[in-house]
Chains A and B, each alone.
Chain A
Amino acid sequence: MRGGYVLQRLGVAVATILAIVLFNFILFRLMPGSPERILLRGIPNVSAERLEATRERWGLNDPILPISIDDSGIHLAAENQFFKYLAATAQGDLGYSFVARGQEVASVLGQRLWPTLLLFGLGEVVAIVLGLALGAYSGWRRGGPIDQIGNGISLFLYATPYFLLGMVLLLLGAALGLPTFGMLTAGGSYADIWARLGDLAAHLALPLATVSLGLVGQYAIVMRSSIVETLTEDYVTTARAMGLRDGRVLRAHALPNALLPTVSLVAINLGYVIAGAVTVEVVFNWPGLGTLAVDALRARDYPVLQGVFLLLSVSVVVANLIADLVYGLLDPRVRT
């Protein structure tokens, strides 16, 4: 891979992240109420010293932007709110939650990150494996019964919001007696780690099924069209003309090339997955970032909401960067 390509992608990613931070900064100034009150809301009995210390640390006594223009000309200030905000953000200081008794936003986010990673990491893996297999098979046997049924279901699932799917599965699960609330049984005590894991798995079943079902259609659609396109290529015809058996043509020639577009799809999808994450977690009260975001939203807990936005959008940018680089490794045509 050429260094220029890597540098260019890296540059775009860094610029995007900076823009996101700037955006967050501006949003913070837009919010109703004075910033130090917002920073300290939820902490009882704020002393005058604490207020002043907060103003000082967040630089609220300084000019807002490094450059300011007024009648006397253009001013540059090294001490300004934007730089201080950048420094604080870079150190992981995102302020305090309004609701969670003044807990730091970063630690609140940390607690909620793992349930989300578990649910959506597993969901992505299941969906990718199933979706690619289904897509490859229906593209290979185009017009066959699996292809037609699969297409119909994919289209239908594509039009179904995740949370609706979740509500339907919750109803079915409740009828079957599966747990539908949270990650572990509330107040439950376990004999050993396996009993605990078993309880977790039972709670995971429904949300995981929702996430996987919601995603599988998109992967199947892309894989199918990719296989169909690959099958018209000359090298596939050549492989067939050489007398290779069907299975070998598919596995050795068509599949590796057809997999390429799905690499970027996985990354692009991450943004949509996040939208789904928010709502699926809410349906099952899964204690992840999505539930956190929605609780923060209903309570107007802005620092937490902003923290979630920052964390999620930076992850999407990083995922896109990784996808671009992997794509560059796999497909020599995009390196130049």
Chain B
Amino acid sequence: MTASAAMVTSARRPSRWRPLGGFLRRYARRRDGMLGAAILVFFGVLAMAPELFVGPLQTVVTATGGRLQSPTTEFPLGTDHVGRDVLNLVVHGARVSMIIGLLATVVTVLIGAVIGVVAGFVGGRVDGVLMRITDFFLVLPTFVLALILTPIIQDLVGSGSREILGIRMTLIVIVVVIGITSWSSSARIIRGQTLSLRERAFVDRARVIGAGPGHIMLKHILPNVMNLIVANAVLVFAGAVLTETTLSFVGLGDPFQPSWGQLLDAARQSGAPGLLAWWDFVPAGLCIVLVVFAFTLVGSALDDLLNPRRRARS
């Protein structure tokens, strides 16, 4: 009797994980989303253990090849202008590019979520001020802002050889600058969703039983905008990888921890494209295009499935 009652309740009460299972099934039906996910898994594995595939990162000192050698069996992707194996560099570059992209996404989405939820929930003058600031950042050419902020902050903190979590300071500065300059559209989206949640009955109920605004925002609003945050984060990730690549390309990267963008900068400075040495920059470039393309695919698939407004339309 008790056992069957328990079974009934467990059958009726929606399990915490059931929506996730349903979501995964719906996601698996999207061909574009699955293709994107497959590409990302591939690069994720490379980024996690580059040493496993190509050995330690080659430097000018440990370079094993000649200068700008075209691909051979020994160097499947040729060598660069100082004789480093391009395959080795690109696989290690995956690690740097993906980690910087990931950290920058976390910072961006965090700022966007805090500002969006507070502006939407508190409303009134706070909302007005926060949204003016958001609009300011939306209209500003944020890349140019990043271009001027990065060297100033790099000079202020001093690059040296200090590291945080094994990442050199120059790259940490890039993470922070991407965060500061690209949170505005996330904040807008999350504020919109918060505005509609604020009017829902469960928020009123929480308020009636004496919950403070901080508690409501953290325990009631945040879980309900989480879907949106995740979908947005994937698109932000694509933008962050592109921004990092571009900043590194103009010389703000770190030659000791080369990302794909830094490799492209080195290839351009050594004149590889003019020397027809395609192997020196096409591999890193292709990786960037593939990763951004994959994030766009996954992001739009997630957006279709998770964004309530999109879901209603389809």
Contact = CB atoms under 8 A, between A and B. Distances in A.
Q: Do A and B come from one complex?
A: yes
Interface of A: 12, 16, 19-20, 27, 30-32, 155-156, 158-161, 163-164, 167-168, 170-171, 174-175, 180-181, 270-272, 274-275, 278-279, 282-283, 293-294, 297-298, 300, 302, 305-306, 308-309, 312-313, 316-317, 320
Interface string B37-48: 000000000000
Contacts of B255: none
A253 B42 CA distance: 48
Interface in B196-225: none
Contact of A312 (B141, B264, B281): B141
A27 B152 contact: yes
A31 B207 CA distance: 47
Interface in B251-270: 251-252, 264, 267-268
A161 B242 contact: yes
Given A174-B276, A271-B140, A297-B147, 15 more contacts: A156-B289, A156-B293, A159-B288, A164-B281, A167-B267, A167-B268, A170-B273, A174-B274, A180-B273, A181-B274, A270-B141, A271-B142, A293-B147, A294-B251, A302-B151
Given A170-B273, A175-B276, A320-B139, A159 B246 contact: no
Nearest to B274: A174
Contacts of A161: 242, 245-246, 249, 285, 288
Contact of A171 (B139, B238, B276): B276
B152 A302 contact: yes
B139 A31 contact: no
A294 B267 CA distance: 16
Given A168-B285, A298-B251, A159 B152 contact: no
Contacts of B142: 271
Nearest to A171: B273
Contacts of A163: 246, 249, 264, 268
14 contacts: A27-B152, A30-B152, A32-B155, A156-B289, A163-B246, A167-B273, A270-B141, A271-B139, A278-B147, A282-B249, A297-B147, A297-B250, A302-B151, A312-B141
A331 B268 CA distance: 46
B7 interface: no
A215 B8 CA distance: 59
Nearest to B282: A168
Interface SS majority for chain B = helix
Given A156-B289, A297-B151, A278 B250 contact: yes
B156 interface: yes
Given A161-B242, A171-B276, A16 B292 contact: no
B144 A308 contact: yes
Interface in B112-153: 135-136, 139-145, 147-149, 151-152
A331 to B, nearest CB: 20
Question: Which of B135, B148, B267, B268 has the largest number of chain A CB atoms within 10 A?
Answer: B148
B248 to A, nearest CB: 11
A155 B246 contact: no
A271 B239 CA distance: 14
Contact of B249 (A27, A160, A181, A279): A279
Contacts of A16: 135-136, 139-140
Contacts of B194: none
A317 B138 CA distance: 11
Contact of A180 (B147, B274, B278, B282): B274
Contact of A316 (B139, B148, B149, B268): B139
B296 interface: yes
B278 A171 contact: yes
Given A159-B296, A309-B144, A164 B289 contact: yes
Contact of B140 (A20, A32, A297, A300): A20
Contacts of A158: 296
A279 B246 CA distance: 7
B289 A159 contact: yes
A268 B152 CA distance: 27
Nearest to A283: B268
Nearest to A317: B139
B144 A167 contact: no
Contact of B273 (A12, A160, A174, A316): A174
A21 B286 CA distance: 39
Contacts of B149: 27
Contact of B264 (A32, A167, A293): A167
A275 B249 contact: no
